[in-house]
Structure 1
Amino acid sequence: MTINPYAGSPSSYVSEPAAAPYSIVELMPGVRNLCEYVRLVPGERVLLLMEHTVDPVVVQAIAAGAAFRGADVRILSVAPFSAGGWDRDAPLQIETAAFHEADVVISGTWWGEVHTAPLFFDQIKSRSSRFLSLHMTATAGALLTGGRLPAEVFYALLRRALRQLSGAGRIRVTSGPGTDVTFSGLTFDPDPGALRPGDWRPFPYGGANFWPADTEGVITIEDSTVTGVPEEPVRLTLEGNLVRKIEGGSGAERLRRYAPEGFYMRHGLIGLNPKVRIAGGTQFEREKHAGAFYCGIDGLTGGEPVTTGPGFAHCDCQMDRPTVTVDGELFIEQGRLLLLDEPEIQEVAARFGPPEVVLDDNPVMILPRRYAGLPA
């Protein structure tokens, strides 16, 4: 059996520890950053779309932060969403109607609204709402850690990363457990900053997202939507951007069952947020940690990749401590994002506090609140 330090990470909001009521005070720096990120202004209609199992302290913190800014806040408690279209015919008329009437939607779901057709990206982009997703991150831990990083620091990192990544021909990802995969034909999400009408973004802000035209090599799953942390290594062999082989005991069988028609590589993400948790964090927190990497394989539809709608079998695969090269140049070394040491990044971080504190990627050290968003 594979021993992995993240094997005890939560599997739903039910398994997340509850926050003490007074901890709402410590969540407010992250909530302040959240409200600024969605460009919240007085009088806007804000919908908090929260699963029944989200910690009430987290819901209260976000609602209070939005109300303090003069927003008209509504809280809709909904049944948990299922992963990958497992319950694709679930009626979501109430959720959809409420979304259509909101200026801002703050969604606290575990598997993410992007797994459902009525709230898929094409539907979000067709509306004027600004949609912020706390996908597995509607937790006190996420607001207390990754949510505290000032947006200006994250976007300095993202702009610097995209200068190097956008023109790249190939990205190679390797890891200790055995991943060795190369992506090419890359299209990057430019992510221009705070939300605009029709935008969908995750929070805490996390990384550089891309879509490859071709993927070649082997991925060894360390954690995934379908397998969790597998009991024995699960290996995916990719050729021509398609998953050609899945190996590895019961985890491999569960993956094959999840998408009987097969998988293709839909997207990847390079983590850039040094304050996001690793130990004890959910998969969708850890993916955002500076120096982490994850990629999403999606189910084929009629034997073909279809990117305009949900694949209904989306499976994200996490790598916590990879090494990443960009056209042969080292970009991440065994989980250490090298951009954190660059002078231009240090200069931006210094506006908020000591750069060695603001940019420290120790995943268990919480950023002091005085450095969490207001320039020093």
Structure 2
Amino acid sequence: MTNNPYAGSPFSYVDASTAGPYSIVELMPGVRNLLAYVQLKAGERVLLLMEHTVDPVVVQAIGAAAAYVGADVRVLSVPPFSPGGWDRQAPLDIETAAFHEADVVISGTWWGEVHTEPLFFDQIKSRSSRFLSLHMTATAAALVTGGRLPPEVFYALLRRTLHQVAGAESVRVTSALGTDVTFSGLAWDPDPGALRPGDWRPFPYGGANFWPRDTEGVIVVEDCTFTGVPEEPLRLTLENNLVRKIEGGMAAEQLRRYAPDGYYMRHGLVGLNPKVRIAGGTQFEREKHAGAFYCGIDGLTNGAPIKSGPGFAHCDCQVDRPTVLVDGEPFIERGRLLMLDDPDIREVAARFGPPDVILDDNPLMILPRRFTGVETY
């Protein structure tokens, strides 16, 4: 499976542009934030689990910064992971053994842990490793844009979001293209603070994640994991948290083919990072942008949703500029995350530079390195 050729975004790291060697200088602010996010300490064993096709400058930047902190760094270059159950017989014994011995895993894979049983979330939670995933984001561009937002600013946005949605009964998402879907029975991922043993988190940091008990309505997909940007409108109709209908030409056929037993709604996420790209970014960058929304459908197992393991057909569906209502109250308006104007959020941002610069949600305006938050080690 590859992205739609008209999508304008890469379908794997082999198709992603590489950075010039001297650009490592510009990657370091984002890498410093990455290491601060994972709370790396001197003497810890760090595994860089990187696909063969990841940009060497990205690997070098992360490895050098971790070594400078005093960590014991190992780089394991691995074949690209396949999506879902596409290649269930792929041998992952070496990857699994290395993961089990590490204090910190920094993973640069395209399809990520959600698609592989030996590295699925239940396996991560059972170990003592802290697992940071650059899922489709082990690129210089992701580190220079979304990676530069100071961690403290992201956590302020996340805590403010969780406070606002605590106890909410529903989240309704609409879009100009026709999305109108309501999620209810919500369980939100709590603010974890610093990564703890068994934690998995994405980087660049992205948003507030939730799991619904029920989903009703229509999603018009603007980008998704298995099809890229569809050539024609791709519509998903959901009832009782199940995908009842998939419509939209070749993209619909590709999506049905990937999970012939059907899909259910696994989770949703509200994007909170104003520095993450939309234009030119991979889907897993775009979904984290402040004011974006995405939700993940997953394959049914023998006709039922089994959440303890991979559904082997996890597909994230993007809505770029939605309007989001939380119990009827505006949270996002046509892609604008309203809390970016909140005085308390602006006060936190002011610790690092001008709030109008730190919180500007035009990701083409790259955050100057002096405003990126982390002091030099």
Name which of structure 1's ranges 337-346 and 158-167 shifts more when overlaid on structure 2: 158-167
> Aligned partners of 2:255 and 2:141: how far apart in 1?
29
Residue equivalent to 2:257: 257
- Determine the structure 2 residue equivalent to 1:7: 7
Cross-structure match for 2:362: 362
The ranges of structure 1 where at least 4 consecutive aligned residues each deviate by more than 2 angstroms after the TM superposition are: none
Deviation at 1:179, TM superposition (A): 0.6
Q: Which residue of structure 2 aligns with residue 216 of structure 1? A: 216
2:32 and 2:374 in contact (8 A); partners too: no
Deviations 1:25-74 (A, max 9, x none): 00001110111111111111100000000000000000001000000000
2:197 is matched with: 197
Give the distance between the partners of 2:83 and 2:270, measured in 1 at CA.
Answer: 22
Tell me the alpha carbon deviations over residues 102-146 of structure 1, each in whole angstroms, 9 at most, x when there is no partner.
Answer: 000000000102211000000000000000000000000010011
Secondary structure of the corresponding residue to residue 353 of structure 2 = coil
Letter in 2 for 1:349: A
Contact 2:159-2:191 within 8 A present in 1 as well: no
Deviations 1:178-210 (A, max 9, x none): 110000000000032121101000001100000
RMSD between superposed Cα atoms in Å: 1.1
Return the offset for 1:374. 3.7
Looking at structure 1, the residues matched to 89 and 240 of structure 2 have their Cα atoms a distance apart, in angstroms, of 32
The 5-angstrom pairing of residues 310-329 of structure 1 reads: 310-329=310-329
1:178 aligned residue: 178
Kept in 1: contact 2:227–2:251 (CA 8 A): yes
Matched-pair contact (CA < 8 Å) for 2:271–2:292: yes
Q: Which moved more, 1:89-98 or 1:162-171?
A: 162-171
| Residue 153 of structure 2: aligned partner | 153
- Aligned amino acid, residue 194 of structure 1: A
Q: Does 1:37 align with 2:37?
A: yes
Rounded to whole Å, the distance in 2 between the matches of 1:68 and 1:374 is 15
Give the 3-state SS of the residue equivalent to 1:296 in structure 2: strand
Task: Quote the residue 2:106 is aligned against.
Answer: 106
CA contact (8 A) 2:46 2:103 kept: yes
Which piece of structure 1 moves more, 9-18 or 101-110? 9-18
- Distance in 2, Cα, partners of 1:85 & 1:302: 15
* Counterpart-to-counterpart distance in 2, 1:275 and 1:315: 24
Q: Structure 1: which amino acid aligns with 2:235? A: R
Letter in 1 for 2:237: T
Aligned to 1:122: 122
Per-residue deviation, residues 271-296 of structure 1 (Å, max 9, x unmatched): 00001111110000011000000000
TM-fit CA distance, 1:373: 1.1
TM-score, scaled relative to structure 1: 0.97
Q: CA deviation at 1:165?
A: 1.2
Query: Does the CA-based 8 Å contact 2:33-2:374 persist in structure 1?
Result: no
Count how many residue pairs are aligned between Structure 1 and Structure 2. 371
Q: Retained in 2: the 8 A contact 1:349–1:358?
A: yes
Residues 276 and 289 of structure 1 are in contact (CA less than 8 Å); yes or no, is this contact kept in structure 2? Answer: yes
Q: Distance in 2 between matches of 1:87 and 1:163?
A: 41
1:85: how far off? 1.7
Q: Distance in 1 between matches of 2:166 and 2:288?
A: 19
Paired residue type of 1:227: T
Corresponding letter in the other structure for 1:229: V
Aligned partner of 2:209: which letter? N
Alignment partner, residue 89 of structure 2? 89
Tell me, yes or no, if the aligned pair for 1:352 and 1:374 is still in contact at 8 Å: no
What is the identity, as a one-letter code, of the residue corresponding to 1:104? V
CA contact (8 A) 1:88 1:312 kept: no
What is the match of residue 225 of structure 2?
Answer: 225
User: Normalized against structure 2, the TM-score is what?
Assistant: 0.97
**Matching of residue 139 in structure 1 with residue 139 in structure 2:** yes
Letter in 2 for 1:75: V
Q: Distance in 2 between matches of 1:317 and 1:264?
A: 13
Consecutive unaligned residues in structure 1, runs of 5 or more: none
**1:7 Cα deviation after fit:** 2.1
**8 Å contact 1:47–1:98 — kept in the other structure?**
yes
1:59 aligns with 2:59: yes
Cα distance between partner residues in 2 of 1:277 and 1:36: 21
Aligned to 1:78: 78
**Structure 2: runs of 5+ lacking an equivalent:** none
Measured in 1, the distance between the counterparts of 2:358 and 2:254 equals 41
Tell me by how many angstroms 1:164 deviates: 1.2
For 2:144 and 2:296, the matched residues in 1 are separated by: 27
8 Å CA contact retained: 1:30, 1:144: yes
User: Which residue is 1:49 aligned to?
Assistant: 49
2:38–2:130 contact (8 Å) kept in structure 1:
yes
Cα shift readout 1:131-183 (whole Å, capped 9, x = no counterpart): 00000000000100111100100000000011111211110001111110000
SS at match of 2:186: strand
